[in-house]
Chains A and B, each alone.
Chain A
């Protein structure tokens, strides 16, 4: 059967580490990247006599995510123990939520792959549930020994489980991207795949197009980059197509992805799967989330990426620009503040300045930020944006000066670079100090233009002969002579005036 006769069915399980000051069930502090076994306490180590106490901040983070994606929140949810023996699991069980999770349903909005021409078209990927749990530690195997770092043990996680509603590897990657953007908007997680604060397992199955029953699925574990999500799912699809085409059955299995060979391979089959012996956690009462908590959490939700994208497009920005600005919450906020400030400074409607401010933010500002910080693709520009030496108000002031004609756009770029190097100075200070103020004095500029025109008779002749390109040469010469301070618009006008005068002089009969 050709591949096009199969329908691909993908469901994702995404683990997202919650960025709380302390762990899920103890007051133990936690920081990513700390010295091994420096972020531990008696509970983290599973010492006898210790008990779990839920971290309200972690539950609040998880609740905000659930509300942001439209989950239903049952008034009571329950903790459960999931048992297996492994050295990175200090208690011999993980506290999670099994049959009674805190959040049910909901959906993640992703770009609609069926309508690639409309960048604002979306489709909703429905969720089965979200539940909270504690993370395990980390084993490192070296020669004869294994080293265990318990820093991560007990760190709060949410697991977001989608329904098997995704139809391609690209959709799956988009789903994880959207989810990552949402949790970053909410400020509840760094959601960094390389650092492991965002992790993805993918369930993949095939069925003949038109079939209603699901095929046998295989779960690919530990997909730790967007590239691997797509590649691994595609590799697994190829494997299953080959099996089915050869008339063999797909056996329900847990898979791992080998990027070197671009292949998935079976880790274990369902028959060998562990019995986790789930049972209700007796050390904690059921978790109660009441209406007041839900109301307060809802009130704290920011506008989410798709809503902001649409709002920006209504403002006259292109879908592409809107996408760039909203990919990062900090960036979107930065833009909003800068635009509002600029509109106020100029006394103009914001919509009339949106494109200009967008160009400065997504162009010069991001370029300078990236030069400042050699970021990988997975980390946010938001992290550097948080440390951006130029405040949105300062950028607005700078754009305002350009709009007012006080400085040229080219000078503006230099001033912005200086603002980066000298945080704390205002654009106006730098403009004054370094003499960026534009010369807009018509008489002076006209005199300058006249001088240059007379000095280049050959070019003048070309221009008068209709070679309009030479106009740029004259403007450039004036800018050079004026040290870039001449207002280019005034220069254009002056050139126009001078040319007209010359033309008139030619038409008139020589009085002499």
Chain B
């Protein structure tokens, strides 16, 4: 037992206030997390790189600023780590791919910049599925990431490194990205809070594109309040992203504090019952979902049934659109200007060898699918049709929100699985996105929060998802906070954290 254990037990919010009040030094807080990385990494492989020196410098700067009486930012001294999809000036950024090997960005992305401006300390970059394409963080030429709740199991994906690091307390909060569930699903598999904001709420500048119309960055944390704290720092219009929303940034922490009072009277939660009849829905996941609904109802929320008539088409629609956009977004990796180059006698051979060696199997599969659907002769049947269905799905949600404030569902139909168990069945993995994809297609905010564990051994976390209308992050945070206040799942500590709980 050390002071460091006290530090690691704290939420990001509590660390920030401790540092602001002078109870903790930022250097100690950073040191504690660097030691935790040392302790947990051999088993987890969550980090792609650790920026210890930079982190200690930033922490020392926070301590100096505090000593000088300077105003501290909302995340001053809080150790954060970023999915390796975020561009960090001067810090290697691979996006989980061999094709970006050796690339050190010459510019700072908006996320790293806003976190730094808020005083956050950057601990390093986190492992992921290559270009965000995957649900288990196994689609990568690097080591697969393990789940701190059950080593040998996947942490989910594609933000699996972030999930593992936050769950293992090797960072106080992490940033993930979510194209079809890549924040929420790993949060669900690792007993975390994962928030995918409204499309455009957080800038995409400096977030390496997978599918531009679906990608959105968001926080992954152990508590709802930390997600609100981080979102407040990240949200807001960005002149470098023409799709970022120019809407005022509300006080997300106030929404959390209101929710923590546990009063949900006046809030209506919609449930799409038909979706729960899905073949692949795990019985324990379903049981935990019903238990969570009971928690919300106990707090005063009304639970109503809603319909999402085009729900079944979401996965197919998603995989047409995301592969089309990916095939385009990944065209720039040609070995000419940065990253991997396999020099060959001709330009065409150089392209082929570079992209052959640089991209993994799943990425190639999606580039091929996307290239196919965008061909002139297949465009109308695939991309054009998918865009039409996407509008119908968005209309379904809009219609549902006339009857409820938000929609609840399981986040992932199954808890974590053993590493390697599903790598040969991409279609089965695609179907696991069934509950999360709708929010991306419709551009809606969604959050996954801890909802308990399986009764089996090892105990595996299960998540609850809430999807809200456009810019309804405060409402989602309020209900999530109420659920958190009525449960204790978020306080549990995974076995693989190098210290007893």
Contact = CB atoms under 8 A, between A and B. Distances in A.
B208 A92 contact: no
Contacts, number: 97
A282 B105 contact: no
Contact of A49 (B206, B213, B337): B206
B204 A51 contact: yes
Interface in A41-92: 42, 45-54, 81, 83, 85, 87, 90-92
B491 interface: no
B31 interface: no
A49 B376 contact: no
A52 B242 contact: yes
B198 interface: no
B87 A284 contact: no
B212 A53 contact: no
B379 A279 contact: yes
A92 B239 CA distance: 24
Nearest to A275: B376
A127 B241 CA distance: 33
Given A81-B328, A279-B324, A48 B208 contact: yes
Given A45-B337, A47-B107, A284 B243 contact: yes
27 contacts: A42-B106, A42-B107, A47-B105, A47-B106, A48-B105, A49-B105, A49-B209, A50-B205, A51-B204, A51-B240, A51-B241, A52-B242, A53-B239, A53-B242, A54-B242, A81-B328, A87-B336, A87-B347, A90-B337, A91-B332, A92-B334, A277-B328, A277-B374, A277-B375, A278-B379, A282-B325, A284-B242
B105 A83 contact: no
Contacts of B148: none
Determine which residue in A46, A49, A54, A91 has the highest number of CB atoms from chain B within 10 A of its CB, and name it: A49
Interface string B64-108: 000000000000000000000011000001010000100101110
Contacts of A277: 327-328, 371, 374-376, 379
Nearest to B97: A48
A58 B381 CA distance: 35
Nearest to A25: B242
A87 B350 CA distance: 11
Contacts of A47: 87, 105-107, 337-338
Interface residues of B, number: 43
Interface of A: 42, 45-54, 81, 83, 85, 87, 90-93, 146, 148, 275, 277-279, 282-285
4 nearest interchain CB pairs? A92-B331, A282-B213, A282-B212, A277-B374
A137 B337 CA distance: 13
Contacts of B239: 53
A209 B330 CA distance: 50
A283 B242 contact: yes
B171 interface: no
B95 A48 contact: yes
Given A46-B332, A282-B325, 17 more contacts: A45-B337, A45-B338, A47-B105, A47-B106, A48-B105, A48-B332, A49-B209, A53-B242, A54-B242, A87-B334, A90-B332, A90-B337, A92-B331, A92-B332, A275-B375, A277-B371, A278-B379
A48 B331 CA distance: 11
**Residue from B208, B337, B376 having most chain A Cβ neighbours under 10 A:** B337
Main secondary structure of the interface of B (DSSP, over half): loop
Nearest to B384: A279
A148 B328 CA distance: 22
Interface string B317-357: 00000001101101110101110000000010001000000
Contacts of A49: 86-87, 105, 109, 205-209
Given A50-B205, A85-B331, A92-B334, A283 B243 contact: yes
B328 A279 contact: yes
B324 A46 contact: no
Given A90-B337, A277-B375, A48 B241 contact: no
Contacts of A52: 242
A92 B99 CA distance: 15
Nearest to B109: A49
A143 to B, nearest CB: 13
A340 B371 CA distance: 64
Contacts of B374: 83, 277-279
A92 B328 contact: yes
Interface in B232-247: 239-243
A48 B100 contact: yes
B397 interface: no
B87 A83 contact: no
B491 to A, nearest CB: 36
B383 interface: yes
A285 B241 CA distance: 10
Contacts of A46: 332, 337
A377 B241 CA distance: 43
Nearest to A84: B331
B336 A279 contact: no
Contacts of A54: 242
A493 B209 CA distance: 88
Contacts of B379: 277-279
A85 B205 contact: no
Contacts of A282: 211-213, 243, 325
A85 B334 contact: yes
A187 B105 CA distance: 38
Nearest to B100: A48
Nearest to B372: A277
A446 to B, nearest CB: 80
Interface centre among A85, A90, A93, by most chain B C-beta atoms within 10 angstroms, is A85
Contacts of B375: 275, 277
Contacts of B330: 92
A279 B383 CA distance: 9
A145 to B, nearest CB: 11
Contacts of A50: 107, 205
Contacts of A278: 374, 379
A46 B211 CA distance: 16
Nearest to B103: A48
A91 B336 contact: no
Given A45-B337, A284-B242, A83 B331 contact: yes
Most chain B C-beta atoms within 10 Å of own C-beta, residue among A48, A50, A279, A285: A48
Contacts of A42: 106-107
A87 B346 CA distance: 12
Nearest to A287: B242
Contacts of A83: 328, 331, 374
Residue of A54, A91, A146 contacting most chain B CB atoms (<10 Å): A91
B242 A285 contact: yes
A93 B328 CA distance: 7
A47 B351 CA distance: 17
Nearest to B99: A48
A48 B209 contact: yes
Interface string B171-212: 000000000000000000000000000000000111111011
A313 B273 CA distance: 81
A317 to B, nearest CB: 49
Contacts of B325: 282
Nearest to B330: A92
A146 B334 CA distance: 15
Pick the most buried of A277, A278, A284: most chain B CB atoms within 10 A of its CB: A277
Contacts of A285: 242-243
Contacts of B241: 51, 53
A92 B370 CA distance: 14
A146 B343 CA distance: 13
Contacts of A283: 204, 209, 212, 242-243
A234 to B, nearest CB: 34
Contacts of B105: 47-49
Contacts of A93: 328, 331
A148 B336 contact: yes
A385 to B, nearest CB: 38
